[in-house]
Structure 1
Amino acid sequence: MSEGSTILPWLVIRQDGNGNHYRVGRCATRDEAQKLADSLADTGQDRRYCVERIGRPVG
Protein backbone atom coordinates (compact mmCIF):
# COMPACT_ATOMS: atom_id res chain seq x y z
CA MET A 1 0.00 0.00 0.00
CA SER A 2 2.96 2.32 -0.07
CA GLU A 3 5.97 3.36 -2.05
CA GLY A 4 8.79 3.73 0.42
CA SER A 5 7.19 5.26 3.51
CA THR A 6 4.48 7.23 1.68
CA ILE A 7 0.94 5.85 2.00
CA LEU A 8 -1.00 5.86 -1.28
CA PRO A 9 -4.59 4.91 -0.40
CA TRP A 10 -6.29 6.25 -3.56
CA LEU A 11 -6.45 4.07 -6.68
CA VAL A 12 -7.20 5.11 -10.24
CA ILE A 13 -9.06 2.30 -11.99
CA ARG A 14 -9.53 1.97 -15.76
CA GLN A 15 -12.49 0.10 -17.23
CA ASP A 16 -12.24 -0.78 -20.90
CA GLY A 17 -15.06 -1.38 -23.38
CA ASN A 18 -15.16 -5.09 -22.48
CA GLY A 19 -15.72 -4.42 -18.78
CA ASN A 20 -12.19 -5.34 -17.68
CA HIS A 21 -10.77 -3.34 -14.74
CA TYR A 22 -7.12 -2.34 -14.32
CA ARG A 23 -5.33 -0.38 -11.60
CA VAL A 24 -3.43 2.35 -13.41
CA GLY A 25 -2.29 4.62 -10.60
CA ARG A 26 -2.01 5.19 -6.86
CA CYS A 27 -2.08 8.57 -5.16
CA ALA A 28 -1.80 10.06 -1.69
CA THR A 29 -4.95 12.20 -1.97
CA ARG A 30 -8.31 11.92 -3.67
CA ASP A 31 -7.69 15.21 -5.48
CA GLU A 32 -4.45 13.90 -7.01
CA ALA A 33 -6.16 10.67 -8.05
CA GLN A 34 -9.08 12.54 -9.62
CA LYS A 35 -6.73 14.81 -11.58
CA LEU A 36 -4.91 11.74 -12.90
CA ALA A 37 -8.20 10.06 -13.85
CA ASP A 38 -9.40 13.22 -15.60
CA SER A 39 -6.16 13.58 -17.57
CA LEU A 40 -6.32 9.94 -18.69
CA ALA A 41 -9.98 10.27 -19.67
CA ASP A 42 -9.11 13.19 -21.97
CA THR A 43 -7.48 10.78 -24.44
CA GLY A 44 -10.87 10.16 -26.08
CA GLN A 45 -10.52 6.37 -26.11
CA ASP A 46 -13.34 4.00 -25.12
CA ARG A 47 -12.22 3.75 -21.50
CA ARG A 48 -13.61 4.98 -18.20
CA TYR A 49 -11.60 5.96 -15.16
CA CYS A 50 -12.74 6.07 -11.56
CA VAL A 51 -11.16 6.75 -8.19
CA GLU A 52 -11.44 4.40 -5.21
CA ARG A 53 -10.02 4.45 -1.72
CA ILE A 54 -8.51 1.20 -0.51
CA GLY A 55 -9.06 0.05 3.07
CA ARG A 56 -6.45 0.19 5.75
CA PRO A 57 -4.76 -3.09 6.64
CA VAL A 58 -5.93 -4.78 9.85
CA GLY A 59 -3.35 -5.11 12.64
Structure 2
Amino acid sequence: MSEGSTVLPWLVIRQDGNGNHYRVGRYATRDEAQKLADRLAGAGRGPRYCVERIAQAPS
Protein backbone atom coordinates (compact mmCIF):
# COMPACT_ATOMS: atom_id res chain seq x y z
CA MET A 1 0.00 0.00 0.00
CA SER A 2 1.67 3.16 -1.12
CA GLU A 3 1.29 6.47 -2.87
CA GLY A 4 4.05 6.60 -5.44
CA SER A 5 7.04 4.96 -3.84
CA THR A 6 6.23 5.97 -0.23
CA VAL A 7 4.80 3.26 2.03
CA LEU A 8 1.86 4.46 4.13
CA PRO A 9 0.97 1.62 6.51
CA TRP A 10 -0.81 3.67 9.21
CA LEU A 11 -4.52 4.50 8.90
CA VAL A 12 -6.67 6.96 10.82
CA ILE A 13 -10.15 5.48 11.19
CA ARG A 14 -13.30 7.39 12.17
CA GLN A 15 -16.06 5.47 13.95
CA ASP A 16 -19.45 7.16 14.23
CA GLY A 17 -22.18 6.54 16.80
CA ASN A 18 -23.78 3.88 14.60
CA GLY A 19 -20.61 1.77 14.44
CA ASN A 20 -19.72 2.74 10.86
CA HIS A 21 -15.98 2.97 10.09
CA TYR A 22 -14.40 5.37 7.61
CA ARG A 23 -10.77 5.74 6.54
CA VAL A 24 -9.71 9.33 7.09
CA GLY A 25 -6.08 9.22 5.96
CA ARG A 26 -2.91 7.15 5.53
CA TYR A 27 0.48 7.99 7.03
CA ALA A 28 4.07 6.78 6.99
CA THR A 29 4.47 6.79 10.78
CA ARG A 30 2.26 5.98 13.73
CA ASP A 31 3.16 9.34 15.29
CA GLU A 32 1.81 11.26 12.28
CA ALA A 33 -1.41 9.27 12.31
CA GLN A 34 -1.87 9.60 16.08
CA LYS A 35 -1.38 13.39 15.96
CA LEU A 36 -4.20 13.69 13.41
CA ALA A 37 -6.48 11.33 15.36
CA ASP A 38 -5.89 13.32 18.54
CA ARG A 39 -6.55 16.64 16.79
CA LEU A 40 -9.76 15.35 15.19
CA ALA A 41 -11.00 13.86 18.46
CA GLY A 42 -10.77 17.29 20.10
CA ALA A 43 -12.65 17.39 23.39
CA GLY A 44 -13.78 13.78 23.09
CA ARG A 45 -17.32 14.45 21.92
CA GLY A 46 -18.64 13.14 18.63
CA PRO A 47 -17.00 10.45 16.51
CA ARG A 48 -14.15 8.31 17.76
CA TYR A 49 -10.82 8.23 15.91
CA CYS A 50 -8.27 5.44 16.14
CA VAL A 51 -5.01 4.46 14.48
CA GLU A 52 -4.47 1.07 12.84
CA ARG A 53 -1.55 -0.47 10.99
CA ILE A 54 -2.38 -2.30 7.80
CA ALA A 55 -0.56 -5.49 6.88
CA GLN A 56 2.02 -5.07 4.15
CA ALA A 57 2.20 -7.55 1.32
CA PRO A 58 5.49 -9.46 1.13
CA SER A 59 7.89 -8.01 -1.43
TM-score > 0.5 by shorter chain: yes
Alignment match, 2:52: 52
Unaligned runs of 5+ in 2: none
Q: Find the aligned partners of 2:50 and 2:15 in 1 and give their Cα distance.
A: 8
One-letter amino acid of the structure 1 residue matched with residue 5 of structure 2: S
Alignment match, 2:38: 38
* Alignment CA distance shift 1:43-1:25 (3 Å): farther
Q: Find the aligned partners of 2:23 and 2:31 in 1 and give their Cα distance.
A: 17
Aligned residue pairs: how many? 59
One-letter amino acid of the structure 2 residue matched with residue 54 of structure 1: I
Give the 4+ runs in structure 1 shifted more than 6 A: none
Unaligned runs of 5+ in 1: none
Q: Find the aligned partners of 2:20 and 2:6 in 1 and give their Cα distance.
A: 28
Instruction: Let me know the Cα RMSD of the aligned residues.
Output: 1.5
Q: Find the aligned partners of 1:43 and 1:23 in 2 and give their Cα distance.
A: 21
Instruction: For residue 58 of structure 1, report the CA deviation from its aligned partner.
Output: 3.6
Secondary structure of the corresponding residue to residue 26 of structure 2: strand
Between the aligned residues of both structures, percent identity stands at 78
